[in-house]
C-alpha cells in the first residue's frame, strides 16, 4: 500500500533526522564544554628563587625541560626525578603517567613547583 510505504518512509526520515540532530548536538556540546587545548607547558624557567610557571601542565609522554636562568645554584627534585645542583643549563624529564608531581629545590625549600601530567586526550587522570 502506497500510504503505508509513505508513512514508513516519513518515520524513517524522522528517525534519521533525530539521530543526526542529537549527534550534532552532542558533538557541539563536547566542543563547547572543552576549555580548549590546555596551555601545554614544555619549559619551566628556574630563576632566583622560584619556578616559572610554578604549575606546569604537560601531556603524558611529553618531556618537560627546566632551564636555569638565575645567578644562583638550584636543583629540581621530585618523586622519580632529580637534577644535579646547577647554575645554568637544562634538565629534562619525560612524564609517562598522568598525575600530579610536586617538586622543589632542596637548596631553597620555598622553591616549589608542580607538574600536572594529563592523559594525551586532555582528560585529567
Rule CB under 5 A: is residue 45 a binding residue for Cu ion? no
Strand positions, DSSP E, 1-125: 43-47, 50-52, 55-59, 63-68, 77-78, 81-82, 90-94, 99-105, 108-118
Least distance from Cu ion to the Cβ atom of residue 106, Å: 8
Supply 46's cell numbers.
Answer: 628556574
Rule CB under 5 A: is residue 56 a binding residue for Cu ion? no
Strand-pairing partners, residue 64, are: 93
Q: Which is nearer to Cu ion, 64 or 118 (CB)?
A: 64
Rule CB under 5 A: is residue 117 a binding residue for Cu ion? no
Rule CB under 5 A: is residue 54 a binding residue for Cu ion? no
* Residues binding Cu ion (CB under 5 A): 74, 105, 107-108, 111
Amino acid at each position: 500500500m502506497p500510504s503505508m510505504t509513505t508513512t514508513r518512509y516519513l518515520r524513517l526520515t524522522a528517525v534519521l533526522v533525530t539521530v543526526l540532530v542529537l549527534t550534532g548536538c552532542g558533538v557541539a556540546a563536547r566542543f563547547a564544554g572543552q576549555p580548549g587545548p590546555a596551555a601545554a607547558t614544555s619549559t619551566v624557567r628556574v630563576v632566583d628563587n622560584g619556578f616559572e610557571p610554578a604549575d606546569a601542565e604537560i601531556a603524558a609522554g611529553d618531556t618537560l625541560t627546566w632551564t636555569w636562568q638565575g645567578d644562583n645554584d638550584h636543583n629540581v627534585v621530585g618523586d622519580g626525578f632529580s637534577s644535579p645542583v646547577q647554575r645554568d643549563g637544562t634538565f629534562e624529564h619525560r612524564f609517562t603517567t598522568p598525575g600530579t608531581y610536586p617538586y622543589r629545590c632542596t637548596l631553597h625549600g620555598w622553591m616549589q613547583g608542580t607538574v600536572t601530567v594529563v592523559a594525551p586526550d586532555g582528560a585529567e587522570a
